[in-house]
Amino acid sequence: MSNEAQRRADRLRELPFERATASFNGSFGSFVRSIREIAGQRELLGLLVRRELKARYKDSSLGFLWSLIRPLTMLVIYYVAIGQFLGAARGVPDFAIFVFAGLTIWGLYSEIVTGGTTSIIGNAGLIKKVSLPREIFPLAATGSALFNFIVQFIVLIVATIVLGQAPLSWNLLYVPASIAIVLIWGVALGLLLSAVNVYLRDVQYLVEVAMLILFWASPIVYAWSFVVDAAARSGITWLTDLYLANPVTIAVLGFQKGMWVAGSSESVIDGQTIPPQPWPADLDLRIAVMLGIGIVFAIICQRVFQKLQGNFAQEI
Amino acid sequence: MNTAMRPDIQNPPVVIRTSDVSKRFILRKDKALKERIVNFGRSQKHRSDFWALRDVAFEITAGTSVGLVGANGSGKSTMLKIIGGIIQTDTGFVERRGRVAALLELGAGFHPDLTGRENVYLNGSILGLSQKQTAEYFDSIVEFSEIGEFIDTQVKFYSSGMYVRLAFAIAVHVDPDILLVDEVLAVGDEPFQAKCMNKIREFQRDGRTIVFVSHSAPQIEDLCDRVVVLSHGRIVYDGETEGGIAALRRTFKG
Ligand SMILES: Nc1ncnc2c1ncn2[C@@H]1O[C@H](COP(=O)(O)OP(=O)(O)OP(=O)(O)O)[C@@H](O)[C@H]1O
Ligand SMILES: [Mg+2]
């Protein structure tokens, strides 16, 4: 018995002391260290993602099917209301694929941001009791958003194949780039907003409203060509530049360019010839820029998160 | 005397070291944006701060059981949370070594929507165990907690006693070097409390370090080798148990 105690003591004597809370020193090294810490908690992250998904659908009999029913319902609504009633489908070939592609990538972004924003408050029970890198919570929200995205994405791919519109071209390379933009910006905003939301609860409602607005600020249910036409008609050219300054818009455009083949060729609807989408000429460059700025932004957001996270447990 | 049961440890190392720890809470009257904006210029009026801990310094060596006592609001739970790395200090720091398991104010971090089983894995993972390691401990955790088939019920349907049972069972099965216990045993029924006490004695024989917050003087006398008394965030006594209980009573008088 006492042997065991002595062995434990001897082992502990060899261990280095650790600070109970990693104090934040504001250097770049701490960013790298945070990433390493989180990587060390991969297994926990996986559990939290599964937890997030499970907790969400736990009490429902249809379970995770709900993650599909919502976007499919939205698809039907937009297809009927905007496509048919308002006539957007007359100017957009394969309107269903177009809308679903936009909804899918937008859904990823909005779910990361809204889920991330409430992730710290929503996990108050854990945050008040256990010590771990708190970035894990917005990241878990991201993980569960990614899961839903992948499910939708598979449906989208199957749909394109069934409709004979399989997106087999070099444009497919835009898809991972667009997803990367959404992930980087989404995670950055998720981190930032989740931390601010602890101190200012209005943020989560603000985010909901902002998402409603931003949904219409990207070409999801109307085509990019409509924006170009509108800008040309009004004669204000910087309008399109302003429109393209939104990283999600770039991601949506890239995603559509990759997944929606009909948008890149001339097509005929009801005897009317529709020219291909006037994709922004410098889309590649814009994607690269958005990725670059996004990374810088993410680093800043993570720093802010680190600064604020010390007081999470007592503020919740 | 209870200390007679302790194993002799030659040259025990320090495992928890706190250096002039102070903690200040800022009490804001409101969290809503509207009030924040309305009160912006006068924000000083709408916040008051006070020190929950002031220059708290002590060292705990491996294998000791320390009772942390004091009146309500004296800063015990705050100190334990700082040791557990859950909140930050404003000045000073806490250093520690070895695996820490914490039972803070009503139990471990559980997620209400998940079953007991899932929470066991979640907590194991938080404490740094792999899934496989947790799986090895799983049966004895369930057995110890005696919650039986409820292990597959969502924990939101647990009674507070069941909640603490599971939390305690997890904390003592992950092989911690340091165990932080904040008043959680009070909600367990008598047999379970006795079981916990036995487990804690076993821990003491294993040479594990325990920091124990309790309002029960008999429990403290029974378990601790050393008592630290807090009053208004300051240490007013640090020494052997009997004197500690007397010092605690003195703080109540004023
Ligand atoms: N998150 C917080 N925000 C503001 N004040 C807090 C917070 N947590 C604790 N306090 C204050 O700090 C002081 C010490 O609290 P603490 O919980 O450490 O007391 P305690 O010694 O554990 O008391 P008890 O015996 O009632 O459990 C109290 O006055 C409490 O109001
Ligand atoms: Mg307390």
Q: Which residues of B touch A1 (CB under 8 A)?
A: 7, 205-206
A209 Cβ under 8 Å from any chain B Cβ: no
Residue A268's Cβ-count burial label (10 Å; 0-12, 13-18, 19+) is exposed
Residue closest by Cα to atom 11 of ligand 1: B52
Residue A34: which of A139, A118, A116 has the closest Cα?
A139
pLDDT tens across B127-155, in order? Answer: 778 888 899 999 999 999 999 999 999 89
Residue A149 lies in a domain: yes
Q: Which ligand is nearest to the CA of B72?
A: 1
Residue A223 in this model has a pLDDT that exceeds 80:
yes
- Is residue B155 within 8 Å of residue B111, measured between CB atoms? yes
Average pLDDT of the residues in A283-299? 96
Nearest CA in chain B to A123: B111
Residue A148 lies in a domain: yes
Residue A262 lies in a domain: yes
pLDDT of residue B36: 63
Instruction: For chain B, give the mean pLDDT.
Output: 87
Residue closest by Cα to atom 18 of ligand 1: B75
User: Ligand 1, from B51, B74, B212: best to mutate by most atoms within 8 Å of Cβ?
Assistant: B74
Rounded to 5°, angle at Cα B153 from B150 and B158: 75
How far is the C-alpha of B19 from the C-alpha of A217, rounded, in Å? 54
CB–CB contacts below 8 A, A to B: 149
Residue B114 to residues A45, A50, B66, Cα–Cα distance (Å): 16, 11, 34
Do B32 and A201 make contact, defined as CB atoms within 8 angstroms?
A: yes
Do A129 and B102 make contact, defined as CB atoms within 8 angstroms?
A: yes
pLDDT of residue B34: 64
Residue A144 lies in a domain: yes
| Structural domains of chain A, count | 1
Residue B101: which of B185, B169, B166, B171 has the closest Cα?
B171
Residue B13: which of A191, A245, A15, A32 has the closest Cα?
A15
Phi then psi for residue B235, to 5 deg, are -80, 125
pLDDT tens across A112-165, in order? Answer: 999 999 999 988 888 888 888 889 999 999 999 999 999 999 999 999 999 998
Residue A40 lies in a domain: no
Residue A140 lies in a domain: yes
Q: Which residues of A touch B122 (CB under 8 A)?
A: 44, 47-48, 51
ipTM of the complex: 0.81
Residue among A5, A21, A200 minimizing CB distance to B31: A200
Residue A25 in this model has a pLDDT that exceeds 50:
no
Q: Which residues of B touch A193 (CB under 8 A)?
A: none
Query: Could you say which residues from 45 to 64 on chain A have a Cβ atom under 8 Å away from some Cβ of chain B?
Result: 47-48, 51, 54-55, 58
pLDDT of residue B108: 63
| Long-range pairs, B132-137, Cβ under 8 A, ≥24 | B137/B173, B137/B174
Residue A2 in this model has a pLDDT that exceeds 70:
no
Do A17 and B205 make contact, defined as CB atoms within 8 angstroms?
A: no
pLDDT per position in chain B (254 positions), as tens? 455 467 778 889 999 999 999 999 987 666 566 666 666 555 555 567 889 999 999 999 999 999 999 999 999 999 999 998 888 899 999 999 998 988 887 656 788 878 899 889 888 888 778 888 899 999 999 999 999 999 999 898 999 889 889 999 998 998 899 999 998 877 888 999 899 999 999 999 999 999 999 999 998 998 999 999 999 999 999 999 999 999 999 998 86
How far is the C-alpha of A157 from the C-alpha of A163, rounded, in Å? 10
Residue A65 in this model has a pLDDT that exceeds 90:
no
SS3 label, residue A197: helix
Q: In terms of pTM, does the model score above 0.90?
A: no
- Is residue A287 within 8 Å of residue A181, measured between CB atoms? yes
3-state secondary structure B40-99: CCCCCCCEEEEEEEEEEEEEEECCCEEEEEECCCCCHHHHHHHHCCCCCCCEEEEEECCC
* Residue A130: domain span: 64-315
How far is the C-alpha of B36 from the C-alpha of A279, rounded, in Å? 45
How far is the C-alpha of A16 from the C-alpha of A13, rounded, in Å? 8
- Closest CA of chain A from B197, distance in Å: 18
Q: Which residues of B touch A21 (CB under 8 A)?
A: 82, 85-89, 94
Nearest CA in chain B to A49: B122
Do A128 and B98 make contact, defined as CB atoms within 8 angstroms?
A: no
Residue A105 lies in a domain: yes
Do B9 and A6 make contact, defined as CB atoms within 8 angstroms?
A: yes
Average pLDDT of the residues in A44-57? 81
Residue A233 lies in a domain: yes
* A226 or B47, greater pLDDT: A226
pLDDT of residue A58: 64
